[in-house]
C-alpha cells in the first residue's frame, strides 16, 4: 500500500504570478482598464438631469432663502425642516454663484463626492497601508452607493468628506495628542453634527470605543505591573521559564505559518499592518506582550491619545453649541413622521446597500464584497489562492468593522427610543470604515491575477449598477409639468396631496398655475414638518376641497396625489372624494408610475366644471 501525504494549506508553494510583481503586459492592461472604469465613474456623477425629488427640491428651496430679513429666512426654513445648517449654508453660497438649476445644484454634490477620495486615501494609508488605501479609493469611486449620492442635492457626500477628515484628525490625536490636533478633531466633530444628526451616532460610537481603549490600557498596564513584580521576585521565574539575570534566548518569529503578503514577500503585508498598530515592533513581540489580554493588539498611539480623542469629540460640542436652541426646538416639534423606526435587520440591509445597491447587478456584487469584508476583518494571506481566517478577527479590520456596525446599531436603538425612521441614505455616516475594510480585504488576495480580476470585476459592476440607479427617474414632476402645460389654463388650480410632492412640482409646473398643498393651502415649494402628524390628523379634507372649488369657479381643478404616504391615508381620499362628488366630469390625465421606474410617483387627476 502506498501512503499519500496530504500537503497542508500553509505549506503550499508560492505562485509564479504574484500581486506586486514587476509590471508586465497584463499589469498595464489592468491599469488601463481601471483608468477607463474610474473615468466613467467620474463622468456619471455629472450626468443626472432628472427633475429633483422632495429632499433635493426642499434643500434648494431652503438654501435660496435669505440669511436675514423681515420675511422667512434660511433659519426659519431649517426650523420647519428639522435639519442642521452647514450643508444649506454651503448650498446657499454655491447657488448664489452658479444658480439653482438642476445640473448646477447636483454638481456641488459631485465635486464634494470626488474630493472625498483624497482624504480617504490618506486616512487609509494611515490605518490599512498604502496599497489597501488605493483599493479603498477605487471601490469608493465606483461604488453604486457613492455614485448615487454624488448626483443628489443632499448632504451625504459632505458627510463622507467630513468623516474622512475627522478620521485623519482622530488618528493624528491618537499619535500626537497636542492642542492643535485636538482642536482639529473638535472642529470636524462639530461640523459633522452640524451636517446631519445621524452623525451624532457615529460620534457616540467612536467615543465609546475610545473610552474602551482608556480602560483597556489601564488593564494592560496593571497586568504588566503584576507580571514584572513576579519576574523580579527572589527565586521566581521570568516569563518563558527563565530566572532573572539568566541569558534568554531570542524569541523566535512566527512558528507555524509564515503569512505571505499580497506583494508576494513573506510577512511584508502583515508586518506593515502590525507596525502601524504595534508601534513598529515585530508581530511576535506584540503578541507575546499581550498574553494577558488575548486577541488584543497594542496600537502605536500615545498613552494619552484615547483620552485626548475623547476630549476632542466632546469639545466638538462647542462648535455645535450655537445651534443647540434650534436643535431642541426641532427635537420637540419635527422628526420623521413619514416613516417607522427600523428593526435591527436594517443593519444587514445597510451593508447590502453599501456593497452594491438595489439593482440586480448590485445585489450580485454583494456576494463579492461580502468575501472581501470577511478577508478584511479576519484574513491572513498564505500565498496563491489560499487565505487563512482568524475567527477572532485581526486588526485593524476588526476595529473598523466594529465602528461601522456599532454606528448602525446605535442608530437603530436610538430610532426605537425616540421614534425616528430609518433611511438607507442616512447610513453614509458609517460608510468610510466599511470602505477601508473592503480595501484591506482585497489586499489579502496574494495571487496577482485573482487580485486584478476581483478588483476589475467589482469596479466595473459597481459603475454599471450605479449608472442604472443614477439614471432612474426620481420624480414624475417633469411629466406632470408637461401634461399641465398642455391641458391647464390660467386660473386653473392644482391641489397637491400629500404636500411632500409639492417641492418637486414647484420647480417644474407653469408659473401661472395656482398650486396649493393639502391641508395648509400654502405654496408648494417647502414642506413644514412642525407637528406634522398632529396637523394632518386634525385636518378636514372636505372643507379643503370645497375651498378650492369655490376659488376655481368655472376653471378646472387638478389634483396630484398618492395614497402611499403616512399621515395622509384618509386625508387625500377625502379631498379626492369631495372633488369627484362635486365634479363628476373627472379623468386621470397622468398615470402613477411604477416604483421600480420612478421613485417619487403619483397620479394626476382632472376635475372639470362641465
Work out the average pLDDT over 579-589: 95
Q: How many CB atoms are closer than 10 A to CB 252? A: 7
Q: Could you give the residue ranges of the DSSP H alpha helices within 491-531?
A: 502-506
Are the CB atoms for 305 and 174 separated by under 8 Å? yes
Least confident of 20-34, 351-365, 387-401, 445-459: 20-34
| One domain, residues 444 and 318 | yes
- Can you give the pLDDT at residue 610? 77
d(CA 559, CA 200): 40
Q: Which of 471, 495, 514 is the last residue of a domain?
A: 471
Q: Over the stretch 451-500, which tens digit does the pLDDT of each residue have?
A: 999 999 999 999 999 999 999 999 999 999 999 999 999 999 999 999 99
Average pLDDT of the chain, as a whole number = 86
- CA distances to 261, 272, 441 from 21, rounded to whole Å, are 12, 18, 19
> Is position 33 within any domain?
no
Q: Does one domain contain both 438 and 407?
A: yes
- Specify whether 57 is located in the same domain as 195: yes
With a CB cutoff of 8 Å and minimum separation 6, the contacts of 574 are 540, 541, 542, 545
Go through 485-514 and write b for each residue having 16 or more CB atoms within 10 A of its CB, e for each that does not. Answer: eeebeeebbbbbbbbbbbbbbbbbbeeebb
pLDDT at 215: 85
Specify whether 540 is located in the same domain as 443. Answer: no
Q: Above 80 in pLDDT, residue 224?
A: no
- 408 and 540 co-located in one domain: no
Residue 466 lies in a domain: yes
CA–CA distance, 525 with 60 (Å, rounded to integer): 9
Pair type for strands 473-475 and 514-517: unpaired
Average pLDDT over residues 196-212: 96
- 95 with 123, same domain? yes
Shared domain for 160 and 197, answered yes or no, is: yes
β-bridge partners, 473: 598
Q: What is d(CA 21, CA 239) in angstroms, rounded to the nearest whole number? A: 41
* Same-domain status, 409 and 440: yes
pLDDT digits (tens, 9 = 90+) for 71-127: 899 999 999 999 999 999 999 999 999 999 999 999 999 999 999 999 999 999 999
The pLDDT value recorded for residue 71 is 85
Does residue 284 have a pLDDT over 80?
no
Q: Does residue 260 register a pLDDT over 70?
A: no
Distance CA 558, CA 523 (A): 15
Q: Rounded distance, CA 392 to CA 371, Å?
A: 16
Tell me whether residue 4 is in a domain: no
Other CB atoms within a 10 A radius of the CB of residue 475 amount to 26
C-beta atoms surrounding 324 within 10 Å: 10
Query: Where residue 189 falls among pLDDT bands split at 50, 70, 90?
Result: very high
Asked if the model's pLDDT at residue 171 lies above 70, the reply is: yes
**Highest mean pLDDT (candidates 225-239, 251-265, 285-299, 527-541):** 527-541
Residue 315 has pLDDT above 60, yes or no: yes
In a domain, 131, yes or no: yes
Q: Residue for cell digits 451636517? A: 195
Q: For residue 272, is it within any domain?
A: no
% of the chain surpassing 70 pLDDT = 83
Coil, strand or helix at 151? coil
Cell of 398: 476588526
Least confident of 163-172, 378-387, 407-416: 378-387
Looking at the 3D structure of the chain, how many domains does it have?
A: 2
362 confidence band (pLDDT: 50, 70, 90):
confident
Q: Of 471, 490, 513, at which residue does a domain stop? A: 471
What range does the domain containing 354 cover? 44-211+304-471
pLDDT band at 244; cut points 50, 70, 90: very low
Ranking 73-87, 266-280, 367-381, 451-465 by mean pLDDT, the lowest is 266-280
C-alpha–C-alpha distance, residues 229 and 349, integer Å: 51
pLDDT for position 276: 40
Does 34 fall in a domain?
A: no
Amino acid at each position: 500500500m502506498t501512503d499519500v501525504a496530504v500537503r497542508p494549506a500553509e505549506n503550499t508553494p508560492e505562485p509564479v504570478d504574484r500581486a506586486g510583481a514587476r509590471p508586465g503586459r497584463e499589469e498595464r492592461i489592468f491599469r488601463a482598464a481601471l483608468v477607463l472604469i474610474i473615468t466613467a465613474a467620474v463622468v456619471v456623477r455629472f450626468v443626472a438631469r432628472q427633475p429633483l425629488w422632495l429632499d433635493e427640491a426642499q434643500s434648494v428651496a431652503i438654501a435660496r432663502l435669505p440669511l436675514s430679513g423681515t420675511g422667512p429666512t434660511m433659519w426659519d426654513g431649517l426650523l420647519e425642516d428639522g435639519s442642521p445648517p452647514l450643508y444649506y449654508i454651503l448650498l446657499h453660497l454655491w447657488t448664489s454663484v452658479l444658480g439653482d438649476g438642476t445640473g448646477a445644484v447636483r454638481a456641488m454634490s459631485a465635486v464634494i463626492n470626488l474630493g472625498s477620495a483624497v482624504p480617504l486615501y490618506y486616512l487609509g494609508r494611515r490605518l490599512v497601508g498604502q496599497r489597501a488605501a488605493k483599493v479603498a479609493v477605487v471601490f469608493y469611486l465606483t461604488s453604486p452607493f457613492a455614485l448615487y449620492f454624488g448626483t443628489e442635492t443632499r448632504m451625504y457626500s459632505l458627510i463622507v468628506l467630513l468623516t474622512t477628515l475627522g478620521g485623519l484628525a482622530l488618528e493624528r490625536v491618537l499619535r500626537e495628542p497636542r492642542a492643535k490636533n485636538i482642536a482639529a478633531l473638535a472642529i470636524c466633530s462639530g461640523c459633522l453634527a452640524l451636517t446631519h444628526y445621524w452623525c451624532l451616532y457615529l460620534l457616540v460610537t467612536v467615543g465609546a470605543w475610545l473610552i474602551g481603549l482608556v480602560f483597556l490600557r489601564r488593564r494592560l498596564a496593571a497586568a504588566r505591573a503584576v507580571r514584572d513584580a513576579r519576574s523580579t521576585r527572589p527565586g521566581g521565574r521570568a516569563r518563558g521559564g527563565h530566572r532573572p539575570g539568566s541569558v534568554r534566548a531570542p524569541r523566535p518569529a512566527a512558528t507555524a505559518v509564515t503569512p505571505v503578503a499580497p506583494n508576494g514577500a513573506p510577512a511584508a503585508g502583515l508586518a506593515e499592518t502590525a507596525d502601524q498598530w504595534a508601534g513598529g515592533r515585530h508581530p511576535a513581540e506584540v503578541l507575546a506582550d499581550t498574553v494577558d489580554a488575548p486577541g488584543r493588539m497594542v496600537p502605536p498611539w500615545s498613552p494619552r491619545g484615547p483620552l485626548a480623542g475623547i476630549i476632542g469629540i466632546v469639545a466638538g460640542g462647542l462648535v455645535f453649541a450655537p445651534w443647540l436652541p434650534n436643535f431642541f426646538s426641532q427635537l420637540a416639534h419635527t422628526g420623521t413622521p413619514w416613516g417607522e423606526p427600523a428593526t435591527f435587520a436594517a443593519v444587514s440591509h445597510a451593508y447590502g446597500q453599501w456593497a452594491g445597491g438595489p439593482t440586480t447587478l448590485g445585489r450580485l456584487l454583494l456576494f463579492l464584497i461580502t468575501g472581501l469584508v470577511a478577508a478584511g476583518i479576519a484574513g491572513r494571506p498564505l500565498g496563491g489562492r489560499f487565505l487563512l481566517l482568524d475567527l477572532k478577527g485581526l486588526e485593524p479590520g476588526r476595529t473598523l468593522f466594529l465602528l461601522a456596525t456599532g454606528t448602525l446599531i446605535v442608530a437603530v436603538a436610538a430610532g426605537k427610543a425616540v421614534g425616528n425612521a430609518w433611511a438607507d441614505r442616512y447610513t453614509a455616516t458609517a460608510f468610510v470604515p466599511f470602505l477601508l475594510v473592503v480595501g484591506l480585504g482585497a489586499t489579502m488576495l496574494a495571487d496577482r491575477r485573482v487580485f486584478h480580476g476581483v478588483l476589475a470585476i467589482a469596479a466595473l459592476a459597481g459603475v454599471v449598477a450605479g449608472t442604472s440607479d443614477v439614471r432612474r427617474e426620481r420624480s414624475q414632476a417633469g411629466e406632470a409639468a408637461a401634461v399641465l402645460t398642455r391641458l391647464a389654463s390660467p386660473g386653473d388650480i392644482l391641489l397637491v396631496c400629500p404636500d411632500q410632492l409639492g417641492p418637486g412640482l414647484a420647480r417644474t409646473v407653469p408659473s401661472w398655475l395656482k398650486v396649493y398643498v393639502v391641508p395648509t393651502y400654502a405654496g408648494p415649494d417647502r414642506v413644514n414638518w412642525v407637528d406634522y402628524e398632529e396637523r394632518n390628523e386634525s385636518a378636514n379634507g372636505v372643507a379643503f376641497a370645497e375651498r378650492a372649488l369655490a376659488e376655481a369657479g368655472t376653471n378646472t381643478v387638478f389634483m396630484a396625489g398618492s395614497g402611499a404616504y403616512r399621515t395622509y391615508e384618509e386625508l387625500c381620499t377625502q379631498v379626492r372624494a369631495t372633488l369627484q362628488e362635486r365634479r363628476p366630469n373627472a379623468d386621470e390625465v397622468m398615470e402613477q408610475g411604477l416604483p421600480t421606474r420612478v421613485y417619487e410617483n403619483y397620479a394626476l387627476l382632472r376635475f372639470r366644471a362641465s
